[in-house]
Amino acid sequence: MFLQVLGHVLITSDLWQAALQFAALLLLPALGGVISERSGVVNIAMEGMMLIGAYAGVMVAVATHNILLGVLGAMIAGGLLALVHAIVSINFMANQTVSGIAINIAALGLTNFLLPIQTNGQGITALDSSLRLPQAALGPLAHIPFIGPVLFQQNILFYVVVLIVILLHFLLFRTNIGLRIRAVGEHPQAADTAGVNVRLVRYLCVVSSGLLSGLAGAFLSLGIAGIFNQDMTAGQGYIALAAMIFGKYTPFGAAGACIVFGLGEALSPRLQDTGISANLLSTLPYLLTLVALVGLVGRTMAPAADGVPYEPAAE
Amino acid sequence: MAMPTVQRRTSTPASRLTRWMHTLKSSLGRPLIAVLVAFILGMIIVMIASPGALGDRFNTAVSAYYNLVMGSFGNIQSISYTLAKTTPLIFTGLAVALAYRAGLFNIGAAGQLAVGAMVAGIIGLKLGSLPGVILVPMMLVASMLAGAFWGSIVGILKAWRGAHEVVTSIMLNWIAFYVCAALVEGPFQAPGLSQQTTPLSASATLPSLANLYNQTLGTIFGQIPLAAQYTVDVSLLLAFVALVVYWFLTSRTTFGYSLRVIGQNPKAARYAGISVKRNLVLAMALAGAFAGLAGATRLMGQSPYQLISSGFSSDSTGFDAIGVALLGRTTAIGVILSALLFGGLQQAGPFLQLNVGVPGDLIYILQALVLFAVAVEYVPSFQRFLPPFMRRTKPVLAPPLVPNLIKSEALLEHASGSSTAGPPEATLTDNSVGATDAPTPATSQED
């Protein structure tokens, strides 16, 4: 019974389309995490940055009647929150985990605090379709059976995410900049000696993680949901964190992890009838990540200087 | 530099008093500054967000804080509510604090709390016909065991696989939330309802303090009128027991001493013959037991006495605990005080909306600001921004957190003046920061 339903569900293009959409949504903050942690700053605040991005995206889009400004606003909001994380953890050498938790609490508090004030207690109604990120079919490619709907009839941000992941991989592993980022994350003293500005690199990386997470927030509120709800990220930032680790701190690894986790998320509502609890299915990403951490499927190692504040010796 | 270490060894009552005053000042001063900074920033946020002229905005902010105070400690009834909210924060605060002593960052208190509540709930529902004298202790012990089990997974993964505890405990949190939700919506679902269990039978619940008093001492000394309005239950007393146990463990036993050594310097601990792995697992198990109790006591002591499937992941107690433990500098007294602060905030939040028109979620912003302020304030780099008279130049006369065996080494270090990190607090937030395998405190601030 279960296998029958599963087999039937697995060959529907509808499932894979949804899975890839979830994957793209998770991948943005996961990539943000990759770039931040590669530079040596622990970032567990993607959840909060995503939430504030989702909120700012909707508010700006509604206020300006411009979807592009909305997306931009979402990224800036995420980036600003990340900037707080950067200042606190790089300059003030605060515990980065504490700062991350504080950001997550602050984002939840801020959005819940501002929502009734900015909407006079009304909350936000569903967005007009002109203010939503559209689905975009890529010309003739979209008509290929199965592959067409799965890969080429996605939300417009999906294609952006695909571009970003390729670019980020190239940036991290094929360019000078990427080498510097990784050097700062692995051995900041050595990087410093070689003339790399450790703090600047870390600042840029942490803020980028905020921009990416903010973009994910816009994807969620302006793209997928078309509305902002309180606490609408509901732990997706943490799944992204899991994806980052499961993907061994690499862009493509994170992408693979996100596809697996996205498939899980897309499957659970479709398997309701089989009696498999959606709740139990939701534990899958976390279980897989634990297994990866324990080293049963290849050990996951964080960058060597991840989470260690760096203070130049000269000071 | 050598002077303080010499003074420390003479133990006249006067010197003891000065030392005590120093400790008090150093342990109270900075958290107070953190809270003050957070509240001033919160005030600015309220003033930005509220309408009207500058004077009106200021008045709104002032009356918001007035309502926070009155709503939490304004009268006996609200104090009782505040204490009811404080109790789980004490338990989870201890769960975070104990792990922190060993250099572990337990952000898994939320998950440990969830499994504790779940297991207590299962026993309460399945064996509800047993008399309370047997049932209640059974539920409490079971919740401790469940929490300890969940916590020790983190410790085991850390000790034997080097998996970072922050990451594993986040994963275990969500696994706990979903598994508990699946249990509530599955085998333990109340008939006719989809997302909750049936309420516990009366024998499985904890009485409120007021009712307990009325039934016992009250029969002699006179009854408390309208006892039903005082909701704080006997788990507050359990929380005090837990605090004493925590204090005793951490400051009067070898185990507590070993934990601190491990937290300060795992290598030194290993050289001193302390089993790091065993102690890490034990610390996480005990931490989990505290958090498990938080789940059980709230389920058993507070209305609605039932488990709700969405309640596990939306419960912020496990995360608030981090603020409680850090603000309380992982001491028993500190945990009480900061749990009262956080509990009071949570109790008073709704009054903001009601009386001032400021959304009650302001309290979460305040909590986050407190966390930021706490995370920042220990760090020596921050001292550069302080005026000279506020900087701590001389090492405080607190005992060094090193084992007896290597005490002489530490004394040498003190004497040569190479150690700038005299006070134990200085290393609290520096170590155990990130994904390094072993927390190495105070390395970055030395040179």
Give the pLDDT confidence of B418-437 residue by residue, as tens digits: 333 333 333 333 333 333 33
CATH number at residue A176: 1.10.3470
Query: Which value does ipTM take for this structure?
Result: 0.87
- Residue-averaged pLDDT of chain A: 86
Taking only the tens place, the pLDDT of each residue in A100-159 is 989 999 999 999 898 888 887 777 777 777 788 888 777 777 778 877 777 887 888 899
A-B contacts at Cβ under 8 angstroms:
177
- Residue-averaged pLDDT of chain B: 81
Q: Is residue A72 part of a domain?
A: yes
Taking only the tens place, the pLDDT of each residue in B155-206 is 999 888 888 888 888 889 999 999 999 999 988 988 888 889 999 988 899 9
Q: Is residue B342 part of a domain?
A: yes
Rounded mean pLDDT, B86-103: 94
Cβ atoms of B175 and B313 within 8 Å: the answer is no
Other beta carbons within 10 angstroms of residue B191's beta carbon come to 5
What domain range is B329 assigned to? Answer: 27-375
CB-CB under 8 Å, B429 with A98: yes
Q: Is residue B426 part of a domain?
A: no
CA–CA dist A283, B261 (Å, integer): 36
Residues of B in contact with A105 (CB under 8 A): 316, 319, 364, 367-368, 371
What was the pLDDT predicted at B444? Answer: 37
Rounded mean pLDDT, B253-261: 90
Is the model's pLDDT at B399 over the cut of 60?
no
Share in percent of chain A as helix, strand, coil (round to 5):
75, 0, 25
- What distance in Å separates residue B430's CA from the closest CA in chain A? 6
A 65-84 near B (Cβ less than 8 A)? 84
What was the pLDDT predicted at B436? Answer: 37
CB-CB under 8 Å, B361 with A283: no
Residues of B in contact with A238 (CB under 8 A): 170, 174
Rounded mean pLDDT, A86-111: 89
Nearest CA in chain A to B161: A294
Which tokens in the block code for residue A68? 């592009």
Q: Is residue B245 part of a domain?
A: yes
What was the pLDDT predicted at A312? Answer: 67
CA–CA dist A145, B264 (Å, integer): 61
- pLDDT-based confidence at B246, cuts 50/70/90? very high
- Identity of the residue numbered B330: T
- pLDDT-based confidence at A276, cuts 50/70/90? confident
In sequence order, the 6+-apart residues with CB closer than 8 A to the CB of A197 are none
Q: Is residue B88 part of a domain?
A: yes
In this prediction the pTM is 0.83
Q: Is residue B410 part of a domain?
A: no
Is the model's pLDDT at B303 over the cut of 90?
no
**Residue B445: φ, ψ to 5°:** -100, 0
- What distance in Å separates residue B447's CA from the closest CA in chain A? 6
What was the pLDDT predicted at B400? Answer: 38
Q: Please state, for a pLDDT cut of 70, what percent of chain A lies above it.
A: 97
Residue B29 vs residue B389, higher pLDDT: B29
Rounded mean pLDDT, B95-111: 92
CATH number at residue B130: 1.10.3470
Q: Is residue B84 part of a domain?
A: yes
Is the model's pLDDT at B21 over the cut of 80?
no
Q: Is residue A242 part of a domain?
A: yes
Taking only the tens place, the pLDDT of each residue in B201-220 is 888 999 888 888 888 888 88
State how many domains chain B has. 1
Cβ atoms of A51 and A233 within 8 Å: the answer is yes
State how many domains chain A has. 1
Tally of residues, chain A: 315
What domain range is A231 assigned to? Answer: 2-128+158-296
Residue A293 vs residue A250, higher pLDDT: A250
For residue B190, CA distances in Å to B44, B143, B222, B297 come to 47, 21, 40, 21
- pLDDT-based confidence at A59, cuts 50/70/90? very high
Nearest by CB: B163 against A92, A242, A294: A294
Which tokens in the block code for residue A35? 């770039």
Rounded mean pLDDT, B34-40: 89
> Which of A297-311, B118-132, B399-413 reaches the highest mean pLDDT?
B118-132
Q: Is residue A314 part of a domain?
A: no
CB-CB under 8 Å, B164 with A101: no
